[in-house]
Amino acid sequence: MSKVLRSVVTGVGGYLPDRIVSNEELARRVDTSDEWIRERTGITQRHQAADHQQVSDLAVEAARRALVAAGRTAADVDMIVLATTTPDLTFPATAAIVQRKLGCPIGIAFDVQAVCSGFVYALSVADGFVARGRSRCALVIGAETMTRLLDWTDRGTCVLFGDGAGAVVLEPGEGAGTTADRGLLGLALRADGTKQDLLYVDGGVSTNRQTGHLRMQGNQVFRHAVVNISEAVVAAAADAGIEVSSVDWFIPHQANQRILEGVARRLGIDETKVISTIAQHANTSAASIPLALDQGVRDGRIKPGQLLLMEAMGGGLTWGACVLRL
């Protein structure tokens, strides 16, 4: 059997800011209710970064925890790929800021912008380096301060998002070229720029020199979500050469409990295999998958050697899925 190099997740870490904002607190600020938010989304609370915290600070905390879990230090890191929609600055890339704050040696550092699909995109980009022997120790991070992008007068969006960061350490590992290998086994990425108006930010450097606010036609995005995500999951499973039913854990992007359940139902995934953090974290965009992974690893559900399926959809529209064995 031929030997192949795989990108193996050797450590996982997450970080959530201390401040918790309940639905009740939001209901005192905007025309909404705990009941509406719970019923339509599954969200009960979200975390919000403190004023002094930048998204790089959240990323650094998650990265430190992932490095400890991997038995590595900042000195080992030769590459940082960071997925975010809410960077510290327009430039430099937040990944380079994280590199400085962590004290990593000179290496590769850049951001990936695919909104809520950012972590799946970033993982695939890092895989392109690690599985070709071009990185020995990569940090792949999803980090967001989405609450800073919200229009607090728009109840259709401001109740949905939260702040946080999740990270994994990726290292090369030799496999036999079979589905029993540890590492990233299958991938499917998609983008459809014609659907921009469904989910976007109404500001930007080159448009109006402003940061802007998140705008979403929620019910339209919802309509596309289950169908698009399901197609990508089936494609990623085929790419990996596995059956969707054989995965141990389904770790979806956390946008709406009804979407999670809709995808799981459509694909015949048992609901006991779904990792859901939407109630506590709300939608943390690119951070939601690594945060959910971290949650599952820390509470002992997700174990080394298990087969994981991750998926996401977000602004672009972008979407995608990947299969990996931990």
Residue 58 CA to residue 164 CA, distance in Å, equals: 6
Look up 253 and say whether it is catalytic. yes
Residue type, 187: L
With contacts defined by CB under 6 A, name the span among 69-77, 172-180, 182-190, 214-222 that binds ligand UT7: 214-222
Q: Which is nearer to ligand UT7, 97 or 232 (CB)?
A: 232
* Binder among 225, 229, 293, 321 for ligand UT7 (CB under 6 A): 225
118 binds ligand UT7 (CB under 6 A): no
- What are the structure tokens assigned to 216, written together? 């979403």
195 binds ligand UT7 (CB under 6 A): no
Least Å distance between CB 290 and ligand UT7?
A: 15
Q: Identify the DSSP state of 104.
A: P
Q: Which among 25, 81, 14, 56 has a CA at the least distance from the CA of 254? A: 14
Give the list of residues 6+ apart from residue 317 with CB closer than 8 angstroms, or none: 191, 192, 193, 195, 196, 198, 199, 221, 224, 228
Look up 158 and say whether it is catalytic. no
Alpha carbon separation from 292 to 6, 142, 168, 261, 282 (Å, rounded): 23, 11, 12, 15, 11
The site map against ligand UT7 for 293-322 (x = CB under 6 A) is: --------------------xx--------
164 binds ligand UT7 (CB under 6 A): no
| Sign, CA torsion 101/105/106/107 | negative
With contacts defined by CB under 6 A, name the span among 17-25, 64-72, 215-223, 227-235 that binds ligand UT7: 215-223
Q: Which residues bind ligand UT7 (CB under 6 A)?
A: 32, 36, 40-41, 116, 155-156, 159, 218-219, 221-222, 225, 255-256, 259, 283, 313-314
